[in-house]
Amino acid sequence: MTFFKNLPDWLSWLPLGTVPSVPADKAAMLLKQCTLLDVRSLSEFNKSHIPGAISIPLYKLSKNRINQLPTDKPFICICLSAHRSKPAVRKLLKAGLDAKELEGGMLAWWKLKLPIEK
């Protein structure tokens, strides 16, 4: 995890590479044990989101906002296709938090017909 702490800020925004992840079926079993952080736009979130998820669009995920997040549970970062969640996971890891991305994003969640709220 040291790699993520040393990553330059400009590079951490790229949706390339890998970050820790969890498949949708496993994430569905962990909903109560994790904080779900949806980093899609507010309009995307309002159309369909995982029950209990917190909406903070990626562009608003600042150091100050990260410091206001609960830290009692690990995070699962969510976006549409697991591109915006990568930089979000990197930002949380850099802040010393435990974070993974939802593998395949909401597209994987919807494909498995897992619970959503509108």
For residues 35 and 63, is the Cβ–Cβ distance under 8 A?
Answer: no
| Domains in the chain: ranges and CATH | 2-111 (3.40.250.10)
Segment 30-55, tens digit of pLDDT? 999 999 999 999 999 999 999 999 99
pLDDT of residue 16: 57
Segment 84-101, tens digit of pLDDT? 999 999 999 999 999 999
Distance of CA 34 to the CA centre of its chain: 11
Sign of CA dihedral 82, 68, 56, 91: negative
Q: How confident is the model at residue 15 (pLDDT cuts 50, 70, 90)?
A: low
Which DSSP state fits 49? B
Query: Which residue from 70, 117, 62, 72 is spatially nearest to 94, judged by alpha carbons?
Result: 62
User: Would you mind telling me the total number of residues written for the chain in this entry?
Assistant: 118
